Amino acid sequence: MRHLLSTRNLSRDDAVRILDIAEDMADVATREVKKLPTLRGRTVVNLFFEDSTRTRISFEAAAKRLSADVINFSAKGSSVSKGESLKDTAQTLEAMGADGVVVRHPSSGAPQTLAQSGWIDAGIVNAGDGTHEHPTQALLDAFTIRRRMHGSAARGRDLDGVSVVIVGDILHSRVARSNVWLLTTLGASVTLVAPPTLFPVGMGTWPADVRYDLDAAIDDVRPDVVMMLRIQAERMRAAFFPNSREYARVWGLDDARTARLAPGSIVMHPGPMNRGLEISAAAADSTRSTVREQVANGVSVRMAVLYLLLAGGGEV
Amino acid sequence: MSAHEYLIRGARLVDDRTVDLRLSGDRITEVGSGVDASGATVLDADGLLALPGLVDLHTHLREPGFEQSETVLTGTRAAAKGGYTAVFAMANTSPVADTAGVVEQVEALGRAAGYATVRPIGAVSVGLAGEQLAELGAMASSRAAVRVFSDDGHCVADPLLMRRALEYVKAFDGVIAQHAQEPRLTEGASMNEGALSGQLGITGWPAVAEESIIARDVLLAEHVGSRLHVCHVSTAGSVEVLRWAKARGIDVTAEVTPHHLLLTEDLIAGYDARYKVNPPLRAEEDVLALRAGLADGTIDIVATDHAPHPVEAKDCEWDAAAFGMVGLESALSVVQAAVVDTGMLTWADVVRVMSTTPARIGRLRSHGQELAAGANANLVLVDPSASRAFGLGDLAGKGINSPYLSRTLPGRVHATFHLGRPTVLDGAVLPAEAVSAGVVPAEG
């Protein structure tokens, strides 16, 4: 694997292999010394054009557990905010000998532009680009689902027969996009639920069902997984929905809806959560909730990705 | 005045006659067979098609203010290379062409360069801000004699300002060329809104944002009895609205760009900023509807929207990239590929949509004339049987932001004559000194 830009072009075998390697990486975290020498002497740059402490420290922990040297380049307040172009930044990192660049960028497609440009030789990991994709989030979500479904027998398994309902701002969500492609590739069935204003037009080509009624989705699909997406406050001001109270009432995972979920089903959220808006405190803190597991699994999955990109892990 | 005499030998006209054309001074003096060549430089035009010089109603020459992108000189070199002898220069310069002073300057720069007749377009509103009418009358009565007014790059979104502008320019036979883009529906938008924009996570530019403005404006034009021109029509729905308006007798004309006749939005899947343009590339069904609209006369003309940018404005991530493509040098080949080689337009139709009608809309009498004795000697010799991989050597302006680089395109401009003087020979643009030497000094 040369770069990880999107989950769209991952095959089922690719995805299962990444998840299996992530299982191996998770085992490392249970040891007394949580560290592998695999990427010793390799340099990973976390190039963040948007603030995201959670994602950045997850990648940082992953790289450090593989013994890579980590450079954090926060483009805010740096030469970039003084007008330096993506090209010049990339060439600077190239000159410094970066082997891998983990990039978070507000512009959709910026990681792909980096990967195709010839400005830099390093392997590129998309850590979230605009409203496009966030592939490692989807991989950690798939990993989390697989572990909850299959426990210690998870290795080698896909997600055949698993039903997932994703609720929230599909239009602006890179998490939703990456999850739709990945989860369906792995065999899960995906239902998307949102107010009609928060779906992109032309959803007919997506391999997912589209519904507007969360209650009906819960009762009809009987989902194994309910994934709630974060609602940004600014959507309200742009007339996507009237106000947060109405959103919470119609599309929030409140206590009553949580209580109707099938036994054994799980509740996921990529964080950070708006408690009381898209998810109630009880749902977030219940035993169904995988929010903290997702954070822990994120490190394992990112270790697997960095390993495959930088350790000559061969073709995935 | 015998300095420049040319005899073009054996050129084919669009009516399939093969003729010799003698050019003397700025006129065509003789068209026929066996025309006397004495005292003239002879050009063998065997196998070449002679067309009236092309007229572009929508060019961005960038000067004054954005000379790093293009100048009047370099932009008209690009025009000559593409077979154009006249270009209408859009008003979004810095300062904006919203006063007589700026339009006279642009006109004079064009005259000094000599590659093509430059007709400035005046801004509709002061500073293109869409609030207050620019000095339309002063620009109309200036030496630049402006007849086309446009805030292109911005829509005249305020319906009352649009109404007033349409009414006001009737006083001097002007026309408002509208950039039809409802601003609220297109905030942050940079590609066609559809399945692909949803997948790529790029904010969509919905067709309705164009169509609703065109619908409003044709109704306004009907109400006040004015002449309206619609810039760069890009959607199937816009063609329908225009067809309806024309059937109703509304005095509206419309243009389509070469790129909207050939390219589709799926080119954007790799986030290559060369394909970022406004209005955006649309879907296949839009392209087919635009071709059909051009063929049946619903769309009157092809205009390039030639929009040069410096390299760094495209060598970047999608969101940071500038909108626009260069188009003058490739336009005729792209039109040939999209609608001539597909059997939808004849070469006579090409003359109509790329020369005669744009000259008429812009009230430019010296261009778009039939190639006959007495006509102004603005013409282009084309080799329609040529085929080439379009490359940097085919570009002659400052901008290299062409979406056609490495694409194979049919046809090739062999020579261009502007007011009786060659600007392109053997496919090569002549040096600036040679072209400007023949320039007639500006009057008064």
SS (H, E, C) B66-81: CCCCCCHHHHHHHHHH
What confidence tens digit (pLDDT) does each residue in B206-247 have? 999 999 999 999 999 999 999 999 999 999 999 999 999 999
Residue A105 resides in a domain: yes
Q: Does A152 touch chain B (CB under 8 A)?
A: no
What does DSSP assign to residue B352?
Answer: I
Three-state secondary structure of chain A: CCCECCCCCCCHHHHHHHHHHHHHHHHHHCCCCCCCCCCCCCEEEEEECCCCHHHHHHHHHHHHHCCCEEEEEECCCCHHHHCCCHHHHHHHHHHCCCCEEEEEECCCCHHHHHHHHCCCCCEEEEEEECCCECHHHHHHHHHHHHHHHHHHHCCCCCCCCCEEEEECCCCCCHHHHHHHHHHHHCCCEEEEECCHHHCCCCHHHCCCEEECCHHHHHHHHCCCEEEECCCCHHHHHCCCCCCHHHHHHHHCECHHHHHHCCCCCEEECCCCCCECCCECHHHHHCCCECHHHHHHHHHHHHHHHHHHHHCCCCCC
Residue A2 resides in a domain: no
- pLDDT of A29: 87
Residue A5 resides in a domain: no
Same domain, A147 and A64: no
Q: Does A133 touch chain B (CB under 8 A)?
A: yes
Residues of chain A with pLDDT under 50: 314-316
* Tokens 């003397």 -> residue: B24
Residue A315 resides in a domain: no
User: What is the chain B residue with the closest CA to A111?
Assistant: B317
Interface mutation target, options A107, A120, A171, chain B, most CBs of B under 10 Å? A107
Beta carbon pairs, A and B, within 8 Å: 80
Residues of B in contact with A113 (CB under 8 A): 271, 273, 316-318
Q: How far is CA B180 from CA A1, B215, B303, B306, B411, in A?
A: 45, 10, 15, 17, 32
Q: Which domain holds residue A306?
A: 12-134+295-310
Residues of B in contact with A132 (CB under 8 A): 200-202
Residues of B in contact with A205 (CB under 8 A): 195, 199
Residues of B in contact with A130 (CB under 8 A): 201-202, 319
Closest approach of B214 to chain A, Cα-based (Å): 22
SS3 B11: strand
Same domain, A92 and A157: no
Residue A18 resides in a domain: yes
Out of A108, A174, A202, closest to residue B318 by CB: A108
- pLDDT of B5: 94
Same domain, A103 and A214: no
Same domain, A103 and A159: no
Residues of A in contact with B194 (CB under 8 A): 201-202
Residues paired with residue B112 on neighbouring β-strands, in sequence order: none
Out of A85, A107, A177, closest to residue B319 by CB: A107
Residue A128 resides in a domain: yes
Burial label, B299 (beta-carbon count in 10 A; 0-12, 13-18, 19+): buried
Rounded Cα gap, residues B165 and B140, in angstroms: 13
What confidence tens digit (pLDDT) does each residue in B244-300 have? 999 999 999 999 999 999 999 999 999 999 999 999 999 999 999 999 999 999 999
Same domain, A130 and A141: no
Domains in chain B with CATH codes: 5-50+375-430 (2.30.40.10), 53-361 (3.20.20.140)
Rounded Cα gap, residues B298 and B239, in angstroms: 7
Same domain, A259 and A275: yes
Same domain, A166 and A215: yes
Rounded Cα gap, residues A195 and A241, in angstroms: 8
Residue A30 resides in a domain: yes
Contact state of B195 with A204 under an 8 Å Cβ cutoff: yes
Same domain, A284 and A299: no
- pLDDT of A79: 61
User: What is the chain A residue with the closest CA to B315?
Assistant: A87
Q: Does A197 touch chain B (CB under 8 A)?
A: no
Q: Does A196 touch chain B (CB under 8 A)?
A: no
* Tokens 């039939």 -> residue: B370
- A228, A250 contact by CB (below 8 A): no
User: Looking at the 3D structure of chain A, how many domains does it have?
Assistant: 2
- pLDDT of A236: 75
Residue type at B65 in one-letter notation: G
Out of A87, A112, A171, closest to residue B315 by CB: A87
Residue A251 resides in a domain: yes
What the block records as the tokens of B367 is 């261009």
Q: What is the CATH number of the domain that holds A215?
A: 3.40.50.1370
Query: Which amino acids of B are annotated catalytic?
Result: 305
Residues of chain B with pLDDT under 50: 1-2, 441-444
Burial label, A276 (beta-carbon count in 10 A; 0-12, 13-18, 19+): middle
User: What is the chain A residue with the closest CA to B269?
Assistant: A109
- pLDDT of B47: 95
* A117 phi and psi angles, rounded to 5 deg: -75, -30
SS3 B44: strand
SS3 B410: strand
Residue type at A206 in one-letter notation: W
Contact state of B315 with A133 under an 8 Å Cβ cutoff: no
User: What is the chain B residue with the closest CA to A181?
Assistant: B199
Same domain, A190 and A69: no
Out of A131, A202, A205, closest to residue B201 by CB: A131
Residues of B in contact with A177 (CB under 8 A): 199, 201
User: What is the chain A residue with the closest CA to B202?
Assistant: A108
Residues of A in contact with B202 (CB under 8 A): 108-109, 130-132
Rounded Cα gap, residues A53 and A212, in angstroms: 32
Same domain, A302 and A218: no
User: What is the chain A residue with the closest CA to B187?
Assistant: A238
Out of A87, A107, A201, closest to residue B204 by CB: A201
Is the bond preceding B384 in cis, omega lying within 30 degrees of 0?
no
Same domain, A143 and A82: no
Same domain, A145 and A276: yes
Among residues of chain B, what percentage have pLDDT more than 90? 97
